[in-house]
Amino acid sequence: MRECSICKELKTIDNFHRRGNGHRTECKSCKSIIDSKRKRDRDPFFSVYYIPEHHYVGMTNSIKYRMQEHKTKGKIVDGYEVIGIYERAVDAHLAETILHSIGYYGFYYKGNKKKKMAYLDNKEHKKIIDCVLEQNAKLFQNLGEDCPKADYEKAKLEERRKLRRIMDLDPEKIGRLVKDSLDD
């Protein structure tokens, strides 16, 4: 038996979603209520935002909740700016990817600016990785306004294929790019 962190009821473990090696702290019923509220509160567009304190760029369709998540993880979000609003996720993703490829931190940033990554240490590797990121950005740029979902999925597969081909240049960075592509 386990107590839900929201409703405080004692429930069997099968009433909690799995998370990693354990389970979530809130029961499935409470999680469902939270998720439905969050879904209702989504913006009707996708925002690309910039957090100056961390030189971080990201995208979301719920800026309010995303900033709360960043705060929870210890980021200073005061002064964040929405730098672009897009109707489609693919367009926001393209803008975010381009900004990451020119040096802004994002989904691969671990919060330690002093930590060196192979991407920054090896100019030849950086050049190859940047070239692949640029090619991937063009995959999405060429989809057009009325892109069918199948074309978008095909572009995502191609994006991951290209990233996996250069995985050995910087496994940490490329691994996170591939994971982000799968999560999208």
Amino acid residing at 79: G
Nearest-angstrom CA–CA distance, 69 and 66: 5
Buried b (16+ CB within 10 A) or exposed e, 112-125: eeeeeebbeeeeeb
Task: Count other Cβ atoms within 10 Å, centred on residue 28.
Answer: 14
pLDDT at 121: 64
Domain assignments of the chain as residue spans, ordered by start:
2-40, 46-183
pLDDT at 112: 43
Rg over CA atoms, the chain: 19
pLDDT at 109: 39
pLDDT at 138: 77
**pLDDT tens-digit profile, the chain (184 residues):** 999 999 999 999 999 999 888 999 999 999 999 888 878 878 889 999 999 888 899 999 999 889 999 999 899 999 999 998 998 888 888 888 888 877 788 764 344 444 445 555 667 777 777 777 777 777 777 776 677 888 878 887 888 787 777 776 667 666 666 666 666 5
pLDDT at 81: 92
Would you give the distance in Å from CA 147 to the centre of its chain? Answer: 21
pLDDT at 116: 42
Give the up-direction half-sphere exposure of residue 104: CA atoms within 13 A in the CB hemisphere. Answer: 19
| Cα torsion through 125, 108, 78, 49, rounded to 10 | 80
pLDDT at 110: 42
For residues 142 and 151, the answer to whether their CB atoms sit within 8 Å is no
pLDDT at 71: 92
* DSSP, residue by residue, the chain: -EE-TTT--EE-GGGS-EETTEE-SS-HHHHHHHHHHHHHT--SSEEEEEEGGGTEEEEES-HHHHHHHHHHTT---TT-EEEEEESSHHHHHHHHHHHHHTT-B-TT--S-TT---HHHH-HHHHHHHHHHHHHHHHHHHTT-TT--HHHHHHHHHHHHHHHHHTGGG-HHHHHHHHHHHHH-
pLDDT at 115: 42
pLDDT at 128: 77
- Structure-block tokens of residue 139: 């995959």
Report if pTM > 0.75: no
- Structure-block tokens of residue 31: 């999680």
